[in-house]
Amino acid sequence: MRAELPGWVERVISVPRFAPYLGALSGDRLVAWDLYQWNIQVSEAFYGPLHCLEICLRNAEHDRLRTRFRTDDWWRVAPLDESEAAKVAAAKQKLARKGIGLPTADDVVTELTFGFWVSLLSRKYDRHLWVPALHRAFPYYSGRREPLRDSLQTMVFLRNRIMHHEPIHHRHLAADHDKIYRLLGYVEPQVVGWLRAFDRVPDLLTRRPGGRRR
């Protein structure tokens, strides 16, 4: 049985970074270290579902918008506001730094962020994007736009925390997981069955250190 935390942990991980794990477990350093390692594992496991959600969302929206505006590079003619137009410009600049001076539409689509695609579901685009086109990107959804957009935005937040190596152990991860599947189902239900075959999140949620399962 372990007697104490390895001496290098707080030196390498840093005291401030380790503090949220200690705080979650009343200062038990050994269990906090287990929680830190579990946080890495469950973050890794969430990558698959979040990957599927982001890919499905961007391709569904892209398909509807290029149909609506009759061009693959629909952002040239769509009424994007300054914020989203700047994100497209930043994507092109990033591609240029990679040596892709004349990017295809697919190149740009791939470079645009998860947050960009969710931002297209904002109220400001109701008239020009949602009503004429983007609602069709979710053929199995019949609710209002705002709850859909809000749910997707929480997934952007979760994705960003994972990609920036932040704690997610404090979240209601079972609810997050259910939400990803629900959102995927709005776009293409068959993806849900395919993803469940290799999704490791449910198993990891049963093995959270400290005895709390969420």
Question: What pLDDT, on a 0 to 100 scale, did the predictor assign at position 202?
Answer: 97
Per-residue pLDDT in tens (0 to 9) along the chain, 214 residues: 356 777 787 788 877 778 888 777 766 788 888 899 999 999 999 999 999 999 999 999 999 999 999 999 999 999 999 999 999 999 999 999 999 989 999 999 999 999 999 999 999 999 999 999 999 999 999 999 999 999 999 999 999 999 999 999 999 999 999 999 999 999 999 999 999 999 999 999 999 987 554 5
Q: What is the pLDDT of residue 1?
A: 39
> Is residue 21 located within the same domain as residue 49?
no
Q: Are residues 174 and 152 located together in one domain of the fold?
A: yes
The answer to whether residue 6 is domain-embedded is yes
Same domain? For 116 and 161 the reply is yes
Note whether residue 195 is domain-resident.
yes
Amino acid at 116: F
- Domain range for 159: 39-72+112-202
pLDDT computed for residue 213 by the predictor? 46
- Residue 103 forms part of a structural domain: no
Model-level pTM?
0.91
**Contacts of range 49-53, beta carbons closer than 8 Å, 24 or more positions apart:** 49/177, 49/180, 49/181, 49/184, 49/195, 49/199, 49/201, 50/155, 50/158, 50/159, 50/162, 50/180, 52/180, 52/184, 52/191, 52/195, 53/155, 53/180, 53/183, 53/184
Q: Examine the domain organization and report whether 142 and 163 are in the same domain.
A: yes
Specify the pLDDT at position 166: 93
Are 142 and 195 part of one and the same domain?
yes
Number of domains comprising the chain? 2
pLDDT at 178: 98
